[in-house]
Chains A and B, each alone.
Chain A
Amino acid sequence: MSQIVTIAKEEWRYWLRSRLVKIGLIVFALLLILTSALTASRVSEIRHDREHQQEKAEQSFREQPDRHPHRMVHYGHYAFRAPTPLAQFDPGVDAVTGQSIFLEGHRQNSAMFAEARGNARAGGFGSLTPALIYQLFLPLLLIAIAHAAIVREREAKTLVPLMSQGVNGPALYLGKGLAILALIMGLSLPALFGSSLAITQGESALTALSLYGSYCLYLAIWGSLILTVSCLVRSRGIALGLMLLVWIFSALVVPRIAVTWASYSLPSEGKIITSMRMNEDLRKLGDGHNAADPAFAKFRSNILAQYDVDSVDELPVNFRGLVAQQSEAELTATLNKYSEKRMSRELEQSTRLDRFGMISPYVAIGTASRSLAGTDLSTHHRFLRETEDLRFNFIQDLNKVHIKKLSYADDMARNKDEEAGKRARVSSENWQILQDFRFQPDTASTRFNRAAASLLSLLIWLLVILFIGLFTSRKLQP
């Protein structure tokens, strides 16, 4: 054990006396600190803004004056997704999915973006997140610093005197590995700080520390791979070239192949074709604004039979409201069918992409990181489903007000008779039907379970490489 520690200390002394290593470490430390601070500040600001905007939108809806309830259906409402505390480390799919949505009757709108301002103000740094630095650039730094760890001894012919002091291959491998591990722990400090900060902001310790641990695991994979290659080859040039090829393959080539393969093997229908098909289905449902639409003839006869009356004028409830309610229910079912199909396909593609984590740790850490941070596709889908529930509920609650609190006669005459128009308004107290919406991240155990497969593949990566490295080091010869 003392030999291993001695070798590790010596490696650190070598690094600290190398100007290149010192400059590299300083540059990356500054980059990490700067990016962490900027991302944390930006996400914190966004979270604050969205929470404030959500309250403002709810207040604005509830403070609308007396009016026809269907006008409120079209007045609509906004729902915002406040980022999780860990989004300041890994904003995940937020940048490409949108975080706010306008909710209105008869439509399911797409989520919208509000990031352009933030990015411009940060001079582009906004998109360089701590997660990206850890996933993409820190492996490069490790390669630059550690690729020669063992092969340097071979090239400088210090392997013979070293081994003749009783140092065997595994001890050398573990000693150099310990030095790299210490380097990784040092480089992971900003991640630890970020995770701790997230805990103070209400994040669960399990997810925050798992996120930190997963990045340590990921960097340890790179460290052990670099060391194993350094143990196998006979020149530092080959070690560097080989590791750069591995990096390019793992971080640049495989993710793109994965995306291409996922979208090729599980093609999704184009937006235009889907819209055309959906509109065709929606047209069959009839126009909910028009109670006389033949599409509602059967509905009308059912209602008349239910209330045992001969005409809609005799109904104790507002037939237009009933049609609007029925129409919204049918329309929402159709819209949900398409959106569920789309989300299901997106999830299938994402799952297929995640499988590439078995051949690229970069893909695996990306999946684990987004899942743990609560910024993955599943979380976004849940946001869409929850906002759709919110939309459907308040629209149908407004339709209930329409049915119960507005007479059919006044409703029909509201555009012709000014007095009827006045009576066709309901009290603004009815706008209190709007439920509060605060999007909550998944529980820690759900997020951890979602990340488990990727974490397991990272662990397998590490164990396999360590096994190969230790096995190779046993045969280490000068």
Chain B
Amino acid sequence: MTAIDVKDLKVERSGKAVLHGIRFSVQVGEVFALLGGNGAGKSTTLLTLLGFLPVAAGSVSLNGISPSANVKKIRDQVAYLPEAATLYPHLNAYENLGYFLSLSKLKLSKAELDATLEKVDLQTDARSQKMETYSKGMRQKVSIALALLRDTPILLLDEPTSGLDPVAIDEFNRLVRSLAAEGRTILMVTHDVYGACQVADRIGLLRGGELVGLFGSNEGQKIDTQTVHKAFTERTGAKRAVS
């Protein structure tokens, strides 16, 4: 069953074409990674799915709903993890989570927040400190916790492992796989070839706003990192992929 369907999507920003008719779909319970270098159109794809950018041509739908038709319903069904882990520096982890969740009309107890923060491995003593004292990785953990706490069927993750240390990345990858096993659909964009190969069922390779390659299958076959790495460096023109 298709959860995310992108058909011949064209998007323009400031009158300039950024996506040139990309086409892919993500099945329910699947982890799909869009891999690409800077300016490939990864974040633009996510922002279009969230309804922040208009579709110039083609179509997108999430669980059969187009963002242009009902953006509110889309945002109710989707948890979005932004690249920069943008949370409020004057608030602590509990306050940040409480604020964002209350905007989604969710009221959770401190124990429930603690359970999720435990899941993302944020130190107990850090949780009551203002976010301005957090490292990038700690902020990322709170953002991930927020995405998890919203308990939505679809997760859109923008560079989710950026700023995390290798141990935290491994933990994050396990978390993503367990979420997929629960039936959640996950679309992540990244330039981390190794991480994408570790966690994704399928990988789409973006270059200059075009989808230039698709790797993997829905049958749980392991994606060959070397193949993707080679394709990434060749097809995206990157001299060195992150690994």
Contact = CB atoms under 8 A, between A and B. Distances in A.
Nearest to A152: B88
Contacts of A3: 103, 105
A160 B105 contact: no
Given A163-B52, A166-B72, A157 B103 contact: no
A276 interface: no
A179 to B, nearest CB: 13
Interface string B69-96: 0011001101110101011111100010
Chain A contact patch, size range: 20 to 34
A313 interface: no
A166 B104 contact: yes
B179 to A, nearest CB: 18
A161 B52 contact: no
B99 interface: yes
B84 A157 contact: yes
A3 B84 CA distance: 24
Contact of A477 (B52, B86, B143, B146): B52
B90 A17 contact: yes
Contacts of B86: 156-158, 160-161
B146 to A, nearest CB: 8
Nearest to B72: A166
Contacts of A265: none
Contact of A160 (B52, B91, B103): B52
Nearest to A7: B103
B75 A158 contact: no
Nearest to B43: A160
Interface in A1-55: 2-3, 6-7, 10, 13-14, 17-18
Given A2-B105, A6-B99, A164 B87 contact: no
Nearest to B105: A2
Contact of B87 (A13, A161, A163): A161
A14 B79 CA distance: 25
Interface in B125-183: 143, 146, 150
Given A14-B90, A478-B52, A165 B82 contact: no
A168 interface: yes
Contacts of A6: 99, 102-103
B50 interface: yes
Contacts of A7: 103
B80 A161 contact: yes
B84 A162 contact: no
Contacts of A189: none
B72 to A, nearest CB: 6
Contacts of B100: 161-162, 165
Contacts of A168: 71-72
A160 B95 CA distance: 18
A165 B74 CA distance: 10
Contacts of B150: 165
A167 interface: yes
29 contacts: A2-B102, A6-B99, A6-B103, A7-B103, A10-B99, A13-B91, A14-B88, A156-B86, A156-B89, A157-B84, A157-B86, A161-B80, A161-B82, A161-B86, A161-B87, A161-B100, A161-B143, A161-B146, A163-B52, A164-B50, A164-B75, A164-B78, A165-B75, A165-B104, A166-B72, A166-B103, A168-B71, A168-B72, A477-B53
Interface of B: 47, 50, 52-53, 71-72, 75-76, 78-80, 82, 84, 86-91, 95, 99-100, 102-105, 143, 146, 150
Given A156-B88, A161-B82, 8 more contacts: A10-B99, A157-B86, A158-B86, A161-B80, A164-B50, A164-B75, A165-B75, A167-B103
Of all A-B residue pairs in the complex, the 9 with the closest CB atoms, nearest first, are A164-B80, A157-B86, A165-B103, A166-B75, A165-B104, A17-B90, A6-B102, A158-B86, A160-B82
